[in-house]
Amino acid sequence: MALIVDIRNSVVPIASEISNAYIDFSKMTASVVALVSDVVRDGKPLVGYGFNSNGRYAPKGLLDERFIPRLREADLGGEIDPVRAWDIMMSNEKPGGHGERSVAVGVLDMALWDLAAKIADVPLYQLIADKWRGGEIDEKIFVYAAGGYYYPGKGVEELQAEMQSYRDRGYRVCKIKIGNGLEEDIPRIEAAMEVVGGGQNLMVDVNGRFDLETAIAYAEAIKGYDLFWYEEVGDPLDYALQAELSKVYPNAMATGENLFSHQDGRNLLRYAGMRPDKDWIQMDCALSYGLVEYKRFIDLLPDYGFSPRNCIPHGGHQMSLNIAAGLGLGGNESYPDVFAPFGGFSDGTKVEDSLVGLHQCAGVGFEEKSALIQTMREATETA
């Protein structure tokens, strides 16, 4: 028997000076929730934590208005079952319109899985693997360093220094933002390639800004570099643009971080001309109704010729790292220098050749990342 006896909801800033081609992050926030259980271990109640991934704002109002009250009133039958909790949280919600509430549910879903794994006294990736993959775990996960943002006053030299610092920290593959125009971006791309060891170690990310004409002009300009991927080139819902672009761009592309339901993901698979032998899907469970919904998407992949290996989630958080290990995804994003303390790995974890190992404590692994668990405890203790 396990009951949730208290739910705490707080907001912390994750603002920074960075910007991509679409937004700046100076007012970015994240929700942090704590689910306090009546299960006592080592003299303390077990607490499940969850937060939302970067790029979308803290859904505090939605959590307070609808999703936390439903979870409070829910009868989970004395078991912390995220699948059953999901149905309760989404009761009396109409279909379609997948945004914002998908973030709120994602925050609570993360906390539910953290708590469930803590009660089972296993790392979450083990719980996931036991439930859905016959216990098989990937011990090493591919990660890449996401950075290369536009900062005020940042030039090519600073970009190269940033890339070098990722390489020095064990990242083989690194990502930079593009989209401000070929005149500015081609020198940036070539400078970054110099440092990371060629195009196969470099990703470029447009953040959804291009129309088809610009997308193709960039494709022509960069296709000779054989980049790791060309990311989110057009509007996330413009599947036709993606499909047209895949006809002229021969190398790998990636998209999906702004699709927040399995229905949206299915439309990507149906209509966007994505190629199972090379393209990547970046849906982020922490923005899209959590792991319960993400698993529905994963289960659709074979129908369209894809597998979990095609998936490298957006967000750089430990939740997706657990899913990558437990479901056998293609890897996970990592933000070595931004969105702290929400991204990253257990303290002292080494990245080697863009591969990272796993935490050993129960749950998502927050307790092995001291800055993060401290932030979440402080935010929710007074909430």
Catalytic residues, by residue number, are: 177, 314
Exposed, middle or buried by CB within 10 Å (0-12, 13-18, 19+), for 61? exposed
Coil, strand or helix at 228: coil
With CB under 8 A as the contact rule, the residue among 230, 239, 297, 339 that binds a second copy is 239
Residue 366 makes CB contacts below 8 A (sequence gap 6+) with 49, 114, 318, 372, 373, 376
State which amino acid sits at residue 327: L
Rule CB under 8 A: is residue 271 a binding residue for a second copy? yes
Rule CB under 8 A: is residue 151 a binding residue for a second copy? no
Rule CB under 8 A: is residue 94 a binding residue for a second copy? yes
Looking at residues 10 to 49 of the shown chain, list those that interact with a second copy (rule: CB under 8 A).
22-24, 27
In 49-139, which residue ranges form alpha helices assigned H by DSSP?
60-62, 68-73, 82-89, 101-120, 124-132
Rule CB under 8 A: is residue 175 a binding residue for a second copy? no
Is 172 or 317 the residue whose CB approaches a second copy more closely?
A: 317
Binding mask 178-207 for a second copy (x = CB under 8 A): -----------------------------x
With CB under 8 A as the contact rule, the residue among 34, 202, 203, 259 that binds a second copy is 259
Is 59 or 343 the residue whose CB approaches a second copy more closely?
A: 59
With CB under 8 A as the contact rule, the residue among 17, 81, 88, 100 that binds a second copy is 100
Positive or negative, the CA dihedral 307, 311, 317, 321 is positive
With CB under 8 A as the contact rule, the residue among 48, 59, 326, 330 that binds a second copy is 59
If you write DSSP's letter for every residue of 263-326 in order, what string do you get?
Answer: HHHHHHHHHS---TTT-EE---GGGTTHHHHHHHHHHHGGGGT--GGGB--SS--HHHHHHHHH
Is 167 or 175 the residue whose CB approaches a second copy more closely?
A: 175
Give me the half-sphere count of Cα atoms (radius 13 Å) on the Cβ side of residue 335.
Answer: 21
Binding region for a second copy (CB under 8 A) out of 85-93, 109-117, 149-157, 161-169: 85-93
* Tokens at 350, concatenated: 């080494």
Phi, psi of 113 (to 5 degrees): -65, -40
Is 261 or 334 the residue whose CB approaches a second copy more closely?
A: 261
No. of H helices and E strands in the chain? 13, 12
With CB under 8 A as the contact rule, the residue among 2, 88, 186, 237 that binds a second copy is 237
Residue 25's CB is within 10 A of a number of other CB atoms, namely: 17
Rule CB under 8 A: is residue 58 a binding residue for a second copy? yes
Dihedral angle computed from the Cα positions of residues 91, 95, 96 and 99, in that order, rounded to the nearest 10 degrees:
0
With CB under 8 A as the contact rule, the residue among 45, 97, 135, 198 that binds a second copy is 97
Rule CB under 8 A: is residue 236 a binding residue for a second copy? yes
Q: Least distance (Å) from a second copy to the CB of residue 300?
A: 12
Counting residues that bind a second copy (by CB under 8 A) gives: 46
Q: What angle in degrees, to the nearest 10, is found between the helix axes of 262-271 and 290-300?
A: 30
Where does this chain bind a second copy (CB under 8 A)?
22-24, 27, 55-62, 64-66, 91-102, 207-208, 235-240, 258-261, 263-264, 266-267, 270-271, 287
